[in-house]
Amino acid sequence: MEKQLTKLNIFSGKGVQMRTFHITWLMFFVCFFGWFGLAPLMPTVRAEMGLTKGQVGNIIIASVTATIIARLIIGKLCDTWGPRKTAVRLLLVGAIPVFLVGLAHSYITFLLFRLAIGVIGASFVITQFHTSMMFAPNIKGTANAVTGGWGNLGGGVTNMVMPLIFAAIVGFGYTPAEAWRYAMIVPGVMMLIMAFLYHRYTKDTPNGNYDEIGHKQQDTKTDWSVLSDWRIWALMLAYAMCFGMELTFDNVAALHFVDTFHLNQSSAGFWAGVFGFMNIFARALGGIASDKVGNKFGMRGKGLLLAAMLLLEGCGLILFAQAGSLFMAIGSMLTFALFLKMSNGATYGIVPFVNTKNVGLVSGIVGAGGNLGGMLFGFLFKSDTITYVEAFTYIGYIVIAVSVVILITRFQKQAVAVDADLKEIAGSAI
């Protein structure tokens, strides 16, 4: 009988646990690539369709709104169907609007397609759930942070790569209006390939798929009492401040660099991509720190670490907003990006331990908080009376305020040990 791993060797692909580890982060990477594939191309889309600042803001809001509901649903489906079937079906359904967004020729149709594409953002819940099934409590936070961070890396890569794909298509003689449409075929194809790989090479649990281990539907009754747990709502609020800000920045960074520092689309996409590339280590660093602190100081220590990361993120955001040159903007961006992404990892270093009998549901609720934050922040960027600089400043102060909320939230004090009841955690999660 296979067991949850107590160590993480990122260079290993041996065993169902590590094979699933790599495929699930790659799945999230591909979904993130498709989810934000349009973001670095928005200067071209804006010019072609004659979009106003308010309309661009609505598109930003739409891109993360559908994900709020989708994450709650996907969390429950992971508990019921298993992460493998859930992932494959999400990839197949999500690829449809990614392929078809090129048919949009008006603001309304583009807005609706952008809304539909946002559903694939729920892939994050699958990745976190599936990773939690494969790793023991002592390393769960680190493993979740690595898969989440490397998956989020898709947002950085797409900001860099999609403008290059766009430029290559233009180089073949197509107009910019045609090029951005054809460019979106690439992430759609990637999602179909990923659906095949996920179906072929992963398992729901270390011991097999749900149908192979006799998982029964009646075991998945939802315990809605989790909604009365303040700690879950505090984590949801924290995730709105870190991952919500990450989603917002992925959406507006290229436009901000074009409008504020007068960069071309490719250069703006590159610097926006640098922000995303911080995920290659920063989110994992937050998860590792959370595990180390948790092993020594328990859940209270994990909460204090998260509060500190959010505080530093907020301060960095304010510095970024006030940057008067591209050099200062990039330096401050890297600073707040580090603590933002560490906050992501630190948040999900806590999530699997808040309610071990409803891991999927809790993960979905907290994950939805990230998109809720992204949606609410989007209203600041659509306002005609608030500049992007002012919006970044306001968000910085809000993040600092939330860090205080996390500071006073009393998380469970017990240490997170290797010899925790793994059977209970694994069994109740499915």
> At 87, which amino acid appears?
A
DSSP conformational letter for 357 = G
pLDDT at 1: 61
Q: Region 77-97: what's the mean pLDDT?
A: 95
Distance CA 161, CA 275 (A): 14
pLDDT tens-digit readout, 234-269: 999 999 999 999 999 999 999 999 999 999 999 999
Tell me, yes or no, whether 212 lies in a domain: no
Tell me, yes or no, whether 216 lies in a domain: no
Distance CA 322, CA 311 (A): 17
pLDDT at 337: 97
Tell me, yes or no, whether 430 lies in a domain: no
Distance CA 364, CA 371 (A): 11
Counting the structural domains of the chain, the total is 1
Tell me, yes or no, whether 221 lies in a domain: no
Tell me, yes or no, whether 242 lies in a domain: yes
Q: Region 94-101: what's the mean pLDDT?
A: 98
Q: What is the CATH number of the domain that holds 249?
A: 1.20.1250.20
User: Would you place residue 179 in the very low, low, confident or very high pLDDT band (cuts 50, 70, 90)?
Assistant: very high
- Which residues are 208's β-sheet partners? 205
pLDDT at 403: 98
Distance CA 123, CA 214 (A): 25
Q: Hey, what long-range contacts does 386-391 have (CB within 8 A, 24 or more apart)?
A: 388/252, 388/255, 388/256, 388/259, 388/260, 389/260, 389/321, 389/322, 390/321
pLDDT tens-digit readout, 282-318: 998 998 899 899 989 999 999 999 999 999 999 999 9
Tell me, yes or no, whether 54 lies in a domain: yes
Q: Residue 214 pLDDT > 80, yes or no? A: no
Domain containing 245 equals: 16-207+228-424
Tell me, yes or no, whether 3 lies in a domain: no
- Residue 354 or 38, more confident: 38
User: Would you place residue 421 in the very low, low, confident or very high pLDDT band (cuts 50, 70, 90)?
Assistant: very low
Percent above pLDDT 70 for the chain: 93
Would you call 417 helix, strand, or coil by DSSP?
coil
Distance CA 314, CA 318 (A): 6
Token pair listed for 146: 């690595």
Give the start-end residues of each E strand in 15-92.
Answer: none
Tell me, yes or no, whether 29 lies in a domain: yes
